[in-house]
Amino acid sequence: MSRRYFGTDGVRGRVGEEPVTPEFALRLGYAVGRVLAGNREEASVVMGKDTRLSGYLLESAMEAGLAAAGVNVRLLGPMPTPAIAYLARAFHAQAGIVISASHNPYYDNGIKFFGPNGRKLPDSTEETIEAWMDRPIKIIAPDRIGRAFRQEDAKGRYIEFCKASFPNYLSLHGLRIVVDCAHGATYQVAPSVFSELGAEVFRIGVTPDGLNINQGCGATDTHALAMAVRTHRADIGIALDGDGDRVIMIDDEGEVVDGDELIVMIVRERLEQGINVQGVVGTLMSNLAMELALQDLGLEFVRARVGDRYVMAELEQRQWMLGGEASGHILCLDKTSTGDGIVAALQVLARLVRTQKTLKEERQRLHKFPQIMINVQVKERRDPMQDAMIQAEVLRLQAALGRGRVLLRASGTEPLIRVMVEGEHDIQVQDAAEQLAELVRQRMA
């Protein structure tokens, strides 16, 4: 069965256009409630959101649909996506619901789900929910209508959970850290986590107005963070995205340290602590240097499709613990059940504190291959490799690069074709990426 509404990360789109409307959210809430409640006498979910203005609209509609199905709702307010995954487990809820479009602009929004184990719902459950959406809403008996209430201690619970992922024999005392919360869901919790562990914290991206989420800040735009690191003479900058499941770091000279580099640091720390690391899952976009570095450590490396959903699927299948993406989705399944920007950052900080190395010193151990990615706006998302001219150009460029890679893929959440070229020589990689991007633009824009 093909899914009509659910993409790689729940339902997402522009607010006011299907499927991101209050009517759709009402029907979705009801369908989710009926599927998750099943034959239970009483079912409950936890529901949080990021800081988009439209979150209020969708939250209310989802709440009404869930109540109509007889499901109780713990409202968490603005909370990171991984916090909702954790709290779904902590409260033994049937699901965690997140209203967020992650790194997208404010005018987009979405709805995604976690199961009672804190992991994303399987495809089969999403398909069952979609089938229920074709049925009319029949409100449950009046005495069984669901209740909703605010969970006032949610932030404190999650802060303590994050802190517990950091070794209790270490401290961040003496570190100067700039934290960029992207005016998003982490703005109340992330600075507290790092400061309570002893760091001197400088905060940026912590004044959300409902419209400025991810705007010129956060994990998708680190220029402001790099400037703040230099201004405050900080040791490290930590950039989170709008819903807190991604992290990118900045060294003391303002240079970006991406997810591939951070994963290798975490792996090295696990190995040096005597922890068994059976293998690591990356994606088609993971830098070739990461693969080679892990091979040098004697570890198997597997590439999944782009998207933390697919990384998670590979990890679960192989029963491995570590994986992620260059974009900053990092999965440490020995610490939490989903990608968590704060928890991942703490694993890197633990290594730096224990080894007494700077982030710059640690990142210099991985010599990344030049890699260029260009996003090409298109009318509709479709496979560019179905175009014969594009396919022929990819094969030509791949042969010319020699030791390198060419990858084209349609974004799973936006009308974009991502053009990636990787190789040993900067100018050759840049020229190849620009040529291919221009051809894609001509053929598909």
Which residues are marked as active site? 102
Sheet containing 371-377: give its strands across.
Answer: 371-377, 416-422, 405-410
Residue 236 CA to residue 222 CA, distance in Å, equals 12
Backbone angles phi, psi at 324, to 5 degrees: 155, -165
Name the amino acid, one letter, at 338: T
Q: Is 397 exposed, middle or buried (0-12, 13-18, 19+ CB in 10 A)?
A: buried
Q: What is the DSSP string of 413-445?
A: SSSEEEEEEE-S-HHHHHHHHHHHHHHHHHHH-
User: Which of the 8 DSSP states describes residue 329?
Assistant: B
Q: Is 276 exposed, middle or buried (0-12, 13-18, 19+ CB in 10 A)?
A: exposed
What is the enclosing helix (H) or strand (E) of 375? strand 371-377
Three-state DSSP at 149 gives strand
The encoded tokens of residue 246 equal 């991604």
Bridge partners of residue 400, in order along the sequence: none
Three-state DSSP at 256 gives strand
Residue 331 CA to residue 334 CA, distance in Å, equals 9
Residue 176 CA to residue 70 CA, distance in Å, equals 49
Residue 69 and residue 146 in contact, taking contact as beta carbons nearer than 8 Å: yes
The encoded tokens of residue 294 equal 């892990």
Bridge partners of residue 405, in order along the sequence: 422
Residue 32 CA to residue 65 CA, distance in Å, equals 8
Three-state DSSP at 140 gives coil
Q: What is the DSSP string of 30-96?
A: HHHHHHHHTT-SSEEEEEEE-S-THHHHHHHHHHHHHHHTTEEEEEEEE--HHHHHHHHHHTT-SEE
